[in-house]
Amino acid sequence: MTVTQPSQSASSGSRFPGTLPARLADELTAAGLEPDAVLAMILGALAEDLPDGGLDATSVATIPAEQQGTAGFNAREPGVVAGLGLAEAVFAVVMGDEVRVTDRLPDGTRVAAGDRVMTVSGPVRGLLTAERTALNFASHLSGVATATSRWVEALEGTAARVLDTRKTLPGWRALQKYAVRCGGGVNHRFSLVDMAMVKDNHVVAAGGVVPALEAVRSAFPGLPVEVEVTDLDELVALLDAGCDRILLDNMDAATMTEAVRLRDERADGRRVELEASGGLTLDRAREVAATGVDYISVGALTHSVTVFDLGMDLT
C-alpha cells in the first residue's frame, strides 16, 4: 500500500457526502439512466452496510484516518464489463472529492482475466467502506452484460437478435436493461404501458387471440401490440387480422420454420416481426435463429445471471 499525506478527514467512516458529481450525473443520463434513481439505489445499498449512520467498525479500528491508498478493480475472468460508472459513483457518494478514479474502461468493453478495469485512490477507510457496494453493482451488471454477449456471439451472422424481458430484479430493471445493451442485446418493453403484450391468460380472458388483439387496439389506438401464440392456427389468424408482432411460445424449430414461411407468405408486404420465446438455451441459439425469427427473448439474461468475478485489490 502506498501511504501519503491526508487530504481531508471526511472519510473517517462516520459520514459521507451523499451526492453525485455533475460529470457522473451527465454520464448516467447519456446512458439512459436516471441519476436521482441511481443515487437513491446507492444510498439504500450503503444504508444496508451503515444503518442509522453507523461506522465501518473494522476499517475505523484497523486503519488510521489519515492513511491514503490506491486500489485496482481487476477482472478475474474474461467477459464484458458494465456498471463501472456506478461503481465510481459509489466512491464519489462515500468520499466526495477525496476520491480519484482513473483508467476506467468504458462499459461494454470486453476484458480478459487479469485486466485492470478501474483504479481508485483516496483515504483507505473510504475505499474499504465503499468496496462491497461498488463491487455489487459492477459485478452484477457485468454478469448481465457478459451473459448477453454470449448470445450475441452465438447469433453472429444471423438476422436474429437477443432480447431481454421484464423478468428483472425488483428495482433493478433500468440497470439490468442497461447492462443488456452493454452486452450487445436489445431491450424489450420496459413496462406495462409502453407496449401491450397479450399472453395466454389474456387470450383466455378475451376469448381468443384475435378478440384480444382487437380489444387492445380499441382501448389504446396506436399502442404497439404483441400477441403470444402456441400454434400455427393462432398465428395465421393474427396474420390475417394484421398483427405486426407475434411471439412464438415454446415451439420447436420445425414449427418456427413453418411460422416464418407462413409469415412471409401471408404478410402481403407488411413488416411482421416474429419473436421466439420459452425455455431457450444458448446451445440452441443458432438452431432457433436459423428458422428466420427476428428476435429471441431470454429471461435468464436478468433473472438467472451469474455475477462477474471482479475484485478490488489495494496496492
Residue 218 sits in a domain whose CATH number is 3.20.20.70
Does residue 36 share a domain with residue 66? yes
Q: Which alpha helices (H) appear in 18-172, and where do they start and end?
A: 22-30, 35-49, 57-62, 84-95, 124-154
Does residue 138 share a domain with residue 216? no
Task: Look at the block and give the residue holding cell 478475474.
Answer: 76
**Is 129 among the domain residues?**
yes
**Is 51 among the domain residues?**
yes
Does residue 96 share a domain with residue 45? yes
Question: What is the per-residue pLDDT across 115-149, written as a single tens digit (0 to 9) for each?
Answer: 999 999 999 999 999 999 999 999 999 999 999 99
Does residue 296 share a domain with residue 161? yes
Does residue 159 share a domain with residue 100? no
**Is 7 among the domain residues?**
no
Does residue 195 share a domain with residue 134? no
pLDDT above 60 (res 40): yes
| Residue 2: predicted pLDDT | 34
The residue type at 40? A
d(CA 249, CA 265): 21
pLDDT above 60 (res 288): yes
**Is 16 among the domain residues?**
no
Q: Quote the domain boundaries for residue 298.
A: 153-303
pLDDT above 50 (res 53): yes
Question: What is the per-residue pLDDT across 54-95, written as a single tens digit (0 to 9) for each?
Answer: 889 999 999 999 999 999 999 999 999 999 999 999 999 999
Q: Any idea what DSSP says for residue 33?
A: -
Active site residues: 132, 167, 199, 228, 249
Does residue 91 contact residue 99 with C-beta atoms inside 8 Å? yes
Does residue 157 share a domain with residue 280? yes
Does residue 195 share a domain with residue 107? no
**Is 64 among the domain residues?**
yes
Find the helix or strand (DSSP H, E) in which 275 lies.
Answer: strand 273-277
Does residue 217 share a domain with residue 139? no
C-alpha cell at 137: 453493482
Does residue 224 share a domain with residue 101? no
d(CA 94, CA 122): 11
**Is 91 among the domain residues?**
yes
Instruction: Report the SS3 class of residue 32.
Output: coil
Residue 103 sits in a domain whose CATH number is 3.90.1170.20
| Residue 17: predicted pLDDT | 79
Domains identified in the chain, total number: 2
Question: What is the per-residue pLDDT across 186-245, written as a single tens digit (0 to 9) for each?
Answer: 999 999 999 999 999 999 999 999 999 999 999 999 999 999 999 999 999 999 999 999
**Is 67 among the domain residues?**
yes
Does residue 284 share a domain with residue 186? yes
**Is 8 among the domain residues?**
no
Does residue 209 share a domain with residue 122? no
C-alpha triplet 95, 99, 102: angle, nearest 5°: 145
Does residue 254 contact residue 262 with C-beta atoms inside 8 Å? no
Give the distance from CA 207 to its chain's centroid: 36
Dihedral class, residue 283 (left if φ above 0, else alpha if ψ from -120 to 50, else beta): alpha
